[in-house]
């Protein structure tokens, strides 16, 4: 009798103990859900891991290549990643963060009979020609081609939003197995805001996040009495990042809090009144959900996943910078509007972004949700070259 447990390989570029981001946090929550399923033997494969972190209920394995000159090119991790997969012989692969690892995982899955579940992390993942901003455009191009190779070989695809599902169908002829929004634990205790109004911006400092626009916003609204403008997130050591930090130190009314742990972000949002987003593109921002659960409405310049801010009345999508200044100013001055939006936001988040969404992902990993014909790899009958 075969007593071997089912083997699951989770594959991301980073583990949260080494580089904490939205995708890594979602996987952390998924692993907590998987603890309820002891029939799974779980392996986490990543290039960026912390040598001081020792997980108890799964194995954490490094797959970074050892070529110093090509350190940041993920496709060069392929030999070590494929060798690790062959040793583990997983039954299912769960891959998140689109890029070279999507293609490598897709190649292994299609050539070994292993099932692969790919989770879309951003609209850029399913938009041809759109690559992340990087000094190395050749590397970006190769990453994109590897990602698209993997999209066509995934057995199941999970989208975060209907917009991502539409882009997947329009650009790659695939339909997701499910649309599953991001999820967070429910906050404990009562929500209680302090005096005055606290406006926050939370993200790692990157050009795509456009923190300069938040600094502009704070300067426009700084004359309103009783308002604090806070910014939290990992810094940026490049020329652009140094310029932003210099402006914060020398002229901006914004207080920079540095990089915060997840618990500290939640504590910040518990006493915040408004979350401002200036990001150009994302998946489903985890900070939106964390804010909503703590009765914090969102003012967003471009992002409104599936139109939820406007439809549910839990925030405002501003049409341009001048409108964002006006919308934020109105929320600062109108406490009843702000509190009413916050209450609706919490109700919406608890109904749509609870940890129950993690259980739906586990169902897909277990094959409980049948894969539709549209989801089969387009070249499932062809050998992988």
Res. 365 pLDDT band, cuts 50 70 90? very high
In this predicted model, what pLDDT tens digit does every residue of 205-214 receive, in sequence order?
989 899 999 9
Identify the CA nearest to 220 among candidates 299, 292, 309, 335.
Answer: 299
* Encoded tokens for 161: 């939003």
- The answer to whether residues 242 and 339 belong to one domain is yes
- The answer to whether residues 114 and 30 belong to one domain is yes
Res. 19 pLDDT band, cuts 50 70 90? confident
In this predicted model, what pLDDT tens digit does every residue of 66-104 receive, in sequence order?
887 777 788 899 999 999 999 999 999 999 999 999 999
Taking residues 18-43, what's their average pLDDT?
Answer: 91
- The answer to whether residues 204 and 329 belong to one domain is yes
Rounded Cα distance between 13 and 85, Å, is 15
pLDDT at 383 over 50: no
pLDDT at 318 over 60: yes
Burial class (CB in 10 A: 0-12, 13-18, 19+), 28: middle
Please tell me the predicted confidence (pLDDT) of residue 264.
93
Rounded Cα distance between 211 and 319, Å, is 17
Let me know if residue 275 belongs to a domain. yes
Helices 262-270, 286-293: inter-axial angle, 10-degree rounding: 50
What sign does the CA torsion over 33, 35, 40, 45 have? Answer: positive
- The answer to whether residues 67 and 120 belong to one domain is yes
- Which distant-in-sequence residues (6+ apart) come within 8 Å of 209 by Cβ? 203, 233, 278, 279, 280
Res. 352 pLDDT band, cuts 50 70 90? very high
Please tell me the predicted confidence (pLDDT) of residue 188.
82
Rounded Cα distance between 298 and 275, Å, is 5
- The answer to whether residues 241 and 223 belong to one domain is yes
pLDDT at 376 over 50: no
In this predicted model, what pLDDT tens digit does every residue of 227-266 receive, in sequence order?
999 999 988 888 988 998 999 888 889 999 998 988 899 9
Let me know if residue 174 belongs to a domain. yes
Rounded Cα distance between 40 and 132, Å, is 34
pLDDT at 1 over 60: no
Let me know if residue 189 belongs to a domain. no
29 lies in which domain range?
Answer: 6-183+355-375
Contact 183, 350 (CB under 8 A): no
Pairing of strands 115-119, 92-96: parallel
Let me know if residue 191 belongs to a domain. no
62: which strand partners? Answer: 46
Distance set, CA 9 to CA 36, 200, 284, 367 (Å) = 17, 36, 24, 15
Taking residues 282-288, what's their average pLDDT?
Answer: 84
Count of other CB atoms within 10 angstroms of residue 345: 27
- The answer to whether residues 76 and 218 belong to one domain is no
- The answer to whether residues 215 and 290 belong to one domain is yes
Identify the CA nearest to 13 among candidates 86, 76, 55.
Answer: 76
* Encoded tokens for 55: 């997980």
Identify the CA nearest to 286 among candidates 137, 163, 182, 209.
Answer: 182
Count of other CB atoms within 10 angstroms of residue 369: 15
- The answer to whether residues 161 and 206 belong to one domain is no
Supply the CATH number for residue 325's domain.
3.40.50.2000
Taking residues 21-26, what's their average pLDDT?
Answer: 88
- The answer to whether residues 164 and 239 belong to one domain is no
- The answer to whether residues 30 and 175 belong to one domain is yes
Let me know if residue 385 belongs to a domain. no
- Which distant-in-sequence residues (6+ apart) come within 8 Å of 111 by Cβ? 384
Identify the CA nearest to 119 among candidates 27, 50, 45, 221.
Answer: 27
Rounded Cα distance between 95 and 102, Å, is 6
Let me know if residue 229 belongs to a domain. yes
- The answer to whether residues 89 and 17 belong to one domain is yes
Q: In 3-state terms, the chain is what percent helix, strand and coil (to 5)?
A: 45, 15, 40
Let me know if residue 188 belongs to a domain. no
Let me know if residue 30 belongs to a domain. yes
| Strand arrangement, sheet containing 178-179 | 59-62, 40-46, 6-11, 92-96, 115-119, 156-159, 178-179
Total count of domains within the chain: 2
- The answer to whether residues 341 and 368 belong to one domain is no
């Amino acid at each position: 009798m075969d007593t071997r447990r089912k083997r699951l390989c989770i594959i991301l570029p980073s583990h949260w103990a080494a580089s904490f981001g939205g995708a890594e946090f979602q996987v952390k929550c998924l692993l907590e859900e998987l603890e309820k399923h002891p029939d799974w033997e779980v392996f986490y494969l990543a290039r960026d891991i912390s040598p001081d972190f020792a997980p108890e209920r799964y194995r954490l394995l490094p797959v970074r290549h050892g070529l110093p000159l090509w350190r940041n090119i993920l496709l060069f991790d392929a030999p070590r990643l494929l060798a690790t997969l062959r040793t583990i012989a997983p039954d299912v692969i769960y891959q998140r963060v689109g890029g070279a690892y999507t293609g490598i995982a897709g190649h292994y899955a299609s050539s070994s009979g292993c099932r692969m579940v790919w989770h879309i992390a951003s609209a850029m993942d399913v938009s041809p020609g759109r690559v992340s901003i990087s000094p190395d455009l050749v590397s970006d191009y190769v990453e994109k081609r590897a990602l698209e190779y993997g999209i066509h070989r995934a057995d199941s695809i999970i989208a975060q939003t209907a917009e991502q599902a539409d882009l997947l169908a329009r650009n790659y002829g695939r339909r997701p197995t499910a649309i599953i929004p991001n999820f967070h634990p429910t906050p404990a205790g009562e929500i209680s805001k302090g005096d005055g109004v606290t406006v926050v911006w939370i993200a790692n400092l990157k050009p795509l996040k456009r923190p300069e626009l938040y600094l502009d916003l704070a300067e426009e609204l700084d004359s309103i009495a009783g308002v604090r403008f806070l910014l939290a997130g990992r810094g940026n050591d490049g020329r652009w990042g140094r310029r932003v930090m210099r402006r914060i130190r020398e002229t901006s009314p914004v207080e920079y809090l540095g990089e915060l742990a997840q618990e500290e972000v939640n504590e910040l949002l518990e006493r915040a009144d408004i979350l401002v987003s200036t990001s150009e593109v994302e998946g489903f921002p985890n900070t939106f959900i964390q804010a909503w659960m703590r009765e914090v409405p969102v003012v967003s310049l471009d992002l409104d996943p599936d139109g939820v801010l406007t439809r549910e009345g839990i925030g405002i999508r501003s049409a341009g910078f001048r409108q964002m200044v006006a919308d934020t100013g109105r929320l600062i001055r109108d406490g009843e509007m702000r509190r009413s939006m916050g209450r609706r936001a919490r109700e919406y988040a608890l109904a749509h972004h609870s940890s129950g969404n993690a259980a739906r992902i586990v169902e897909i990993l277990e094959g409980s949700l049948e894969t539709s014909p549209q989801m089969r790899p387009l070249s499932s009958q062809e050998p992988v070259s």
